[in-house]
Structure 1
Amino acid sequence: MITIFFATSTGKTEDIAQRLASFLDCPTQTCDVDTLSSAQGFCRADALICCVPTWNTGADSFRSGTAWDSHVESISDLNLTGKPVAILGLGDSSSYSDYFCDAMEELHSAFRKSGARLVGSVPVEGYTFHASKSVINGRFCGLPIDEDSEPDLTDDRLRGWAEQLKREMLDLLT
């Protein structure tokens, strides 16, 4: 089963997590990171999709401004060797073009250090932004979503990513 973890300040990230779950068409559950007493809660999932907003633009750490910031440093210490993990980030490419979806990279780095198998990178083509720490080797390290400036693209991006994740994750779970 895939667990979609999210943390939100405004409700947008939770909404995106629910919408993504509807597109996955496989056993999925959602979990608010606020309900986790420790990062150990991530170990109980078979596969993880982590939905994170970027609030603290320009910061070097704790960029999400949500409950993710309480767990991000502990994630690196977990043993998630081989566990499939995908990251989805929300950001505003118009107002915060220099920090677009930066919090994705922070989670990506933490899960990589834990030994997780990171999946779900997407091309930067089709996005309008100036800079993002979440671009690694010329690709976004997860799926960026811009509900502020490009909400009309969200469902198509979620649908396409859901299909990609089913190919990349479900093979690892069987």
Structure 2
Amino acid sequence: MAYTIFFATSTGKTEDVADKLKELLPGTEAKDVDNIGSAADLASAEALICCVPTWNTGADEGRSGTAWDTYAEEIPSMDFSGKSVAIVGLGDSSSYSDYFCDAMEELYTAFLQAGAKIIGKVPTDGYTFAESKSVIDGKFCGLAIDEDNESDLTDQRLADWVKQINSEA
């Protein structure tokens, strides 16, 4: 499976995580969604890993505060049938414990509506947070990463998750 990593970043942390994923998946390309031409670029990928930060905490929509917010509106009208999509969300489980990685859910819902096969859901075990819109049926709808408070866990979480998505794709 050939993944393309798509990311958006405000502070550089989401790009750093995308770069770590690129190292774990040799031959994988990473693209900043601020620099792609349109949502059609997303659809042209064989399989997608989408890395999204959460900034607009508590908002009903547009929770990433990045170009992902626009694409999340466009994706549902597109055809992603049969494409594997995995999502990585970044958030702050301490300062924003009530909104931890909320932006993941927007991409999850958008790609689900477009017919994508969502892979890479992870249990909430081992995470400390109060609430997250990205917890669906008892699991995160992707991989939650907290570079602010749990950066020491990031490398192992990414390595385990890459094995998981490769087995699910």
Measured against the shorter chain, the TM-score band is over 0.9
Aligned to 2:9: 8
Q: Is the 8 A contact 1:85 1:119 kept in 2?
A: yes
Letter in 1 for 2:137: N
Counterpart secondary structure, 2:77: coil
Aligned to 1:21: 22
Distance in 1, Cα, partners of 2:36 & 2:22: 20
Percent identity of equivalent pairs: 62
Give me the CA root mean square deviation.
Answer: 0.8
Can you list the C-alpha shifts for 1:91-127, whole angstroms capped at 9, x where unaligned?
0000000000000000000000000000000000000
Letter in 2 for 1:24: L
Aligned to 1:121: 121
Q: Structure 1: which 5+ residue stretches go unaligned? A: 170-174
Distance in 2, Cα, partners of 1:90 & 1:7: 11
Letter in 2 for 1:16: V
Offset of residue 40 of structure 1: 1.0
After TM superposition, the runs of 4+ consecutive aligned structure 1 residues lying more than 2 A away are: none
Distance in 2, Cα, partners of 1:4 & 1:37: 15
Offset of residue 12 of structure 1: 0.6
Counterpart secondary structure, 2:115: coil
TM-score (norm 2): 0.97
Aligned to 1:172: none
Aligned to 2:33: 33
Counterpart secondary structure, 2:21: helix
TM-score (norm 1): 0.95
Letter in 1 for 2:129: F
Letter in 1 for 2:13: K
- Count of residues paired in the alignment: 168
Aligned to 1:152: 152
Counterpart secondary structure, 1:76: helix
Offset of residue 165 of structure 1: 1.1
